Amino acid sequence: IVLEAELKRAIEDRELVVYLQPQVDANSGTLVGSEALVRWPHPERGMVSPGAFIPLAEEVGLMPELGDLVISLVLEALQGMGDKAVPTSINISSDHFLRSGFVTYFQRQLEESGVAPHLVKLELTESVLIANKEHGIKVMQALRDLGVKLSLDDFGTGYSSLSYLLELPLDQLKIDKQFVDALDRDQRSSSVMKHVISLAHELELEVVVEGVETQEQWQRVAAAGADLIQGFYFFRPLPLAEFQQQLP
Ligand code: G
Ligand code: G
Ligand code: MN
Ligand code: NA
């Protein structure tokens, strides 16, 4: 088990790293973007995955600090890619997003890094709206005004509702792996995916489908009209050096 004090110290000492999982064009399969996923290289336990420490960070209120670190790691990674940089997504927790001054903080980080705002995408879940929808939407608008893109993560799980798609200022929708898994089980799932994607396109949202693990799934997801795919069939999350080698 991960201890609060140890995690706090690791964040303060900037011991966490990000891996980047490539996103590919759904038709050609070429790398066009990425999602940053945090990891903790632990002296005794090896590479600790976020499932083992994000729930604790959330519980003890460390997500804003952890999130600030991830933002700076991603901006450094984008700087390191230079002219080859591809749009990269950062998962933002609700606590972090709703912290007062988040937009100003983020704007300053962006400016200091010199990274072009359109290269940064923030992945949010509907939970950012639970406490106060109007406030959440205002923060989203302010972020978009900076030129960064916003993505709604985990669509199709939890409380995601179609009405959110109409209300929220979004650029992208990420369809959860559960939809892909369902494609293998029954015929109707393909039709559901097609309709969700065309609805998203109607709302001018780019669509990423997550969790593609087989060639058959790739074919079905591409046929359903997805724009981008993120999945182990193409790439697992990669350490920065390996990701750089995959850049076209
Ligand atoms: O990479 P992995 O499959 O182990 O990630 C597990 C979960 O942790 C995913 O739900 C992912 O969204 C979340 N996660 C990974 N990195 C970050 C991060 O930097 N910030 C937040 N808030 N969540 C993350
Ligand atoms: O919750 P979120 O969508 O941010 O989490 C993304 C998570 O999904 C990452 O932890 C990543 O490792 C995982 N992931 C991405 N592609 C695949 C896949 O093809 N199969 C599985 N099992 N997990 C995947
Ligand atoms: Mn995500
Ligand atoms: Na997701």
Whole-number pLDDT of residue 187: 85
Residue 81's CATH number: 3.20.20.450
Residue 38 in contact with ligand 1 by CB distance below 6 A? yes
Report residues whose beta carbon is within 6 angstroms of any ligand 2 atom: 21, 37, 91, 153-154, 177, 210-213, 230-232, 237
Cα–Cα distance measured from residue 52 to residue 144, given in angstroms and rounded to the nearest whole number: 32
| The model's pTM | 0.97
Segment 33-43, tens digit of pLDDT: 999 999 999 98
Cα–Cα distance measured from residue 17 to residue 244, given in angstroms and rounded to the nearest whole number: 15
Cα 71 from chain centre:
12
Whole-number pLDDT of residue 160: 65
Whole-number pLDDT of residue 163: 81
Whole-number pLDDT of residue 193: 94
Whole-number pLDDT of residue 159: 66
The sign of the CA dihedral 211, 212, 214, 217 is: positive
Exposed/middle/buried for residue 215 (C-beta within 10 Å: 0-12, 13-18, 19+):
exposed
- What residue numbers bound the domain in which 153 lies? 4-246
- Dihedral (C-alpha) 199, 218, 228, 35: value to the nearest 10 degrees? 120
Q: How far is ligand 1, taken at its centre, from the CA of residue 26, in Å?
A: 23
Consecutive sets of 10 residues in the chain, 248 residues long: mean pLDDT of each?
A: 89 98 98 98 92 95 97 98 97 95 98 98 90 92 98 84 87 96 89 94 97 97 98 98 96
How many domains does the structure of the chain reveal?
Answer: 1
Q: How far is ligand 2, taken at its centre, from the CA of residue 210, in Å?
A: 7
Residue 122 in contact with ligand 1 by CB distance below 6 A? no
Closest-approaching ligand to the CA atom of 212: 2
Segment 207-223, tens digit of pLDDT: 999 999 999 999 999 99
Residue 74 in contact with ligand 1 by CB distance below 6 A? no
Closest ligand 2 atom to the C-alpha of 233? 19
Q: How far is ligand 2, taken at its centre, from the CA of residue 68, in Å?
A: 22
Which value does ipTM take for this structure?
0.97
Whole-number pLDDT of residue 230: 98
Closest ligand 2 atom to the C-alpha of 232? 19
Closest-approaching ligand to the CA atom of 95: 1
Whole-number pLDDT of residue 164: 83
